[in-house]
Amino acid sequence: MIQILGLLLLCSGAATAADRLCIVIDGRLKQVDAGNGQVYGVNDDDNIYQWMGSGWRQFPGQLMHVTVGPAGVWGVNKFQSIYKYKDDNWMRVSGRLKQIDAGGDKFLSGVNGMDDIFCANQDQTISNSTNVAYNDIDGSLKYYSCGPYGCWGVNAIDNIYYRHNVQPTYCKGSRWQHIDGRLKMVEVGSDGSVYGVNSNGKVYKREGITDGNPIGTSWTQLKFYDVMKHVSYDQGNLWLITKKGIIYKCKVDGSADQSCY
């Protein structure tokens, strides 16, 4: 039975240690996604898992990337085929993507093997049809993630971009804005929080994000000793995957000084 291994590290700073507590979770993953109170991940063998609070539940099938959010649970396999989890089964739907995100307001987004960017409006994701109509978004990204205040992405050279005026019925949005910094992946939480990992395995949080200022103000580095490759955030919990596949779950309180050791 897979279970929590125990306390890994404490964090220093203005908040109490309990607010900054991190644990290491048994198992190995290459990617994790948290949203709407749920957590899913996949390992190096493309096996699929759901976090049940004290251990992992394995799902049938194989995916290289999985996502959970208001649009439901979706994933893509090594052939870039797209699947939606419905009625306790993976349902194949039209299209091909290498990375997929269900974090928008019931709309879907992602990128394909050519770094082309796509999204599907809310009416497409809630439909029972396997024929999904996608919108082609201008630009080129290797990773794209959405939340309540808009969408964020990174391109092949780790430049960061924000997509303005994204709506559930018009997921294409209107224009890109270049954001300072460099990241190799970026994830938007269900509350609009934005976290990312750079090419050196450093973790960053975007500060100052509000409904009135969806691009925020600056990046704050979260200081972990380990080298990270993936991050996801939901409901006060930061999920991290190290370069070696080790899984961290950290309780964060939202303050800027998150120095973890």
β-strand pairing of 218-222 with 194-197: unpaired
- Residue 9, pLDDT above cutoff 60: no
Q: Say if 173 falls within a structural domain.
A: yes
Q: Is residue 180 part of a domain?
A: yes
Residue 256: inside a domain = no
Give per-residue pLDDT as tens, 121-130: 999 999 999 9
The torsion angle over the Cα atoms of residues 25, 30, 33 and 39, rounded to 10 degrees, is: -40
Number of Cβ atoms within 10 Å of the Cβ of 108: 31
What is the CATH classification number for the domain harbouring 175? 2.130.10.30
Question: What digits encode the pLDDT tens for the residues 151-166?
Answer: 999 999 999 999 999 9
Q: pLDDT at position 259, please?
A: 43
Alpha carbons 111 and 91: distance in angstroms, whole number: 20
Range of the structural domain that residue 132 is part of: 27-247
The answer to the question of residue 57 being in a domain is yes
Kindly report the average pLDDT of the chain as a whole number. Answer: 90
Give a yes or no: residue 21 inside a domain. Answer: no
Domain assignment present for residue 190? The answer is yes
How many distinct structural domains can be found in the chain? 1
Q: Residue 184 corresponds to which tokens in the numbers above?
A: 């190799």
pLDDT, mean of residues 219-241: 96
Which tokens belong to 144? 């794209």
Residue 1 forms part of a structural domain: no
Q: What's the pLDDT at 253?
A: 65
Region 98-115: mean pLDDT is: 97
pLDDT digits (tens, 9 = 90+) for 17-62: 334 589 999 999 999 999 999 999 999 999 999 999 999 999 999 9
Question: Quick check: is 69 in a domain?
Answer: yes
